[in-house]
Amino acid sequence: MLSSRILLGLVPAGLLLSACANNSQQSQQALPADSSGQQSIFTAGFDALQKGDNVAARHDLQQAYQQNPHDVYDEENLGAAYQNTGDLGKALPLYRDTIANGQDSQTSFVTRPEVQGMTIAQIAAWNLKLAGVDEYGNALQASQSAALMEPQSKYEIYFAFDHADITPEGAQIVAAAAKSAMAGNLARIEVVGHTDTVGSAAYNERLSERRAAAVKQALVADGVPGDTIQAHGVGKTDLAVPTPDGVREPKNRRVEISEEEAKVD
């Protein structure tokens, strides 16, 4: 049976890196239960990875790893922190161990559609491929890495609670969406803002519109023609994860980008 923990895919420094919440008692911050019904526990190191503070993440995750040296989630987290700070050599043995021992470890929460349904071992291999190497540091053929970077038509950007500012990780996703849009025969882009269920309907409607507007502005800054973008917010009416009112659910705090190509007869 697959074990299940919570994972968040990140995109710092142009790489799709992953961070996994663990159950260490060090500097915990409890968040509402996610869609799996489990309690989401974020350590200081995991929280730092989310925010892009990779130096702090590396320091905190090194301590967590010392306490749980064979936990594949801690290994994945620390490997991501090492990779984010340019020390891929230290990340490699951690990823090797994760790949060897994480085949039955399933994540229950992802923010990147590319890693949806992957085991922790598969995600470790994915991170390495995006770095252009295998688990032993050998360079991959260009085709092996390029296959992971094919343009897609849908993207999701996630936001901090009660914020409309795009995170560094979100900016990377917006950039990828813009690059994909400019590479194809673009007809239009739909940008839809969403919120969780904390707060009034009117407040969340405005918040979702601010999030959509921020993403549209970022797309235009990345070269997408503004007249091809339709942006609007739907507040808390279209939840990715159905929750009661007043629940902070990270997967609901998002903007969805959908790209539509012009039909050629």
Residue 104 has pLDDT above 70, yes or no: yes
Give the contacts of 102 (CB within 8 A, at least 6 positions apart): 72, 76, 119, 120, 121, 124
Position 210 scores a pLDDT of 97
Position 261 scores a pLDDT of 63
For 176-187, what is the mean pLDDT? Answer: 74
109, 32 Cβ separation under 8 angstroms: no
Position 136 scores a pLDDT of 81
pLDDT digits (tens, 9 = 90+) for 39-51: 444 567 766 766 6
| Tokens read off for 58 | 């590396």
Position 142 scores a pLDDT of 57
Q: Residue holding tokens 């094919």?
A: 150
pLDDT digits (tens, 9 = 90+) for 56-99: 888 888 888 888 777 888 888 888 888 878 888 898 898 889 88
| Tokens read off for 133 | 């190497």
Dihedral sign, CA of 158, 160, 165, 167?
A: negative
Mean model confidence pLDDT for the chain: 75
Choice between 244 and 176, residue whose per-residue pLDDT is larger:
244
Residue 31 has pLDDT above 70, yes or no: no
What the chain holds in terms of domains, given with CATH numbers, is 3-142 (1.25.40), 151-261 (3.30.1330.60)
Choice between 29 and 120, residue whose per-residue pLDDT is larger:
120
Position 153 scores a pLDDT of 73
pLDDT band at residue 245 using 50, 70 and 90 as cut-offs? very high
Q: Could you tell me how many residues make up the chain? A: 265
Residue 229 has pLDDT above 50, yes or no: yes
Instruction: Tell me phi and psi for residue 108, to 5 degrees.
Output: -110, -5
Region of residue 63 (left: phi > 0; alpha: psi -120 to 50; beta: else): alpha
Position 6 scores a pLDDT of 41
pLDDT band at residue 211 using 50, 70 and 90 as cut-offs? very high
Position 107 scores a pLDDT of 64
| Tokens read off for 260 | 């539509």
Residue 113 has pLDDT above 60, yes or no: no
For 217-232, what is the mean pLDDT? Answer: 90
260, 165 Cβ separation under 8 angstroms: no
For 129-155, what is the mean pLDDT? Answer: 66
